[in-house]
Amino acid sequence: MELLYGPIRNYAWGSRSAIATLQGRPVPSDEPEAELWLGAHPGAPATVDRDGDRVSLVDLLLAEPGHWLGEQVVDRFGTRLPFLLKVLAADAPLSLQAHPDPDQARAGHAADAARPEAQRNYVDPHHKPELLVALSSMEALCGFRDPAVSAEVLAAFGVPSLEPVLTALRAGPAGLSDAVRLLLTWPAAERDALVSAVASAPGGGLDAELARDLAAAYPGDPGVLVALLLNRVRIAPGEAIWMPAGNLHAYLRGTGVEIMAASDNVLRGGLTPKRVDVDELLRVLRFEVLHDPVVRARDVAPGVVCWPVPVDDFALHRVRVGADLPEVTLPLAGPRVVLCGAGGLMVDDGTGKVALAPGQAAVGPAAAGDLHLSGAGEAYVASCGLR
């Protein structure tokens, strides 16, 4: 193992305290810190030390794919790390978004090659399923809820112009596509008034509170209304949200460890000043009810849990060691990234020992052996999901 240095992405919705506190830096940070990236995505690759210089993990993988990735990973994914580990820290809502499945990503990326850059939706040919494990209490919007419930919620605002949307929702899941299209293509001249009418409607409850909060942050944005069609989810530390392809979602607030397939393909549906391609979003979305997006941890071994997901791009384990369990051995095949979430850890995979403090990470190659963790703390271990 060797130390891995991840870049921090300074998006406006980020926290000025969460990642800085995790890493033991002064609070507040100079800028909002939204995401710590720990991987080899070309958009913001992590680095390692080589003779006093920082070298991109991307370059190391390309130079020695057999050593770093292993034959099985190269055969399945090519000469790239198929997963990206992040720390996500949200003090404000992220954009409503969905991600394509593998076929949609390949076709979309190929089609975008002939389009001007400003009109492209797909930056790579890969899918982007993702798992988010809460470090703090987190709130999110995840997938469509029962459209009959959404119709009741919107009707309670008492806004007559929403009647066509209510009619679509009362048709059940078959009407979800029409409802979303109506909301996202509402005439711009009337959109501000509609969002304002919903946000200022009398009444309480979580949905009214959500509409007011989102409208204050994104006045006139149709995503304020689309958000009311989604499940509002609260998860405690250790619980996770699984977002497969085609599910509209937005993280509202909180801090978590996120692992995903290494892609940056995002189709946005609102709560953003960025481009929204309604037609492409509707083509990618799954218009079905998502009954329960929450994934509970599963015990693997003493001190070790995982959150099972149905993809082979990644797997995530949490390992806890301490006085009662001073050392844990985790059998792994393929490349691995270890993030220290708390305490102090020593990690060793036979290629080298690395001491980790909170917020520090290490990377190890496929050529290494089992991962040994000792000390007193908590680690999140990202690896490939290949068996």
Burial class (CB in 10 A: 0-12, 13-18, 19+), 149: middle
Statement: residue 164 has pLDDT above 70: yes
Q: Are 140 and 235 in contact (CB under 8 A)?
A: yes
- pLDDT in the model for residue 303: 98
Average pLDDT (195-224) is 91
- Judge whether residue 32 has pLDDT over 70: yes
The DSSP element (H or E) to which 232 belongs, if any, is strand 230-235
Which residue among the candidates 145, 268, 318, 320 is catalytic per the annotation? 268
Residues 21 and 23: their CA atoms lie apart, in Å, by 5
Q: What digits encode the pLDDT tens for the residues 130-140? A: 999 999 999 99
Q: Is the pLDDT of residue 204 over 70?
A: no
Asked about 268 being catalytic, the answer comes back as yes
Q: Which residues contact 314 (CB under 8 A, 6 or more apart)?
A: 82, 83, 131, 259, 260, 261, 382, 383, 384, 385
**pLDDT reported for residue 349:** 96
pLDDT at 154 > cutoff 80: yes
> What are the b/e assignments for 162-183, b being 16+ CB within 10 Å?
beebbebbeeeeebbebbbbbb
Reported as a single tens digit per residue, the pLDDT across 287-335 is 999 999 999 999 999 999 999 999 999 999 999 999 999 999 999 989 9
Q: What number of H helices and E strands is found in the chain?
A: 12, 22
| 62-94 pLDDT, tens digit each | 999 999 999 999 999 999 999 999 999 999 999
Contact in structure between 356 and 362 (CB atoms under 8 Å):
yes
Read off the tokens for 78.
């090519």
Closest listed residue to residue 360, CA positions, set 374, 382, 342: 342
Q: Cα(205)–Cα(187) distance, rounded to whole angstroms? A: 28
Give the tens place of pLDDT for each residue, 226-274.
999 999 999 999 999 999 999 999 999 999 999 999 999 999 999 999 9
Q: What is the DSSP string of 287-326?
A: -SB----EE--EEEETTEEE---S-SS-EEEEEEESSS--
Identify any residues that bridge with 33 across adjacent strands, giving them in sequence order: 15
Task: Of 351, 342, 340, 353, give the one whose Cα is nearest residue 381.
Answer: 340
Q: Are 177 and 287 in contact (CB under 8 A)?
A: yes
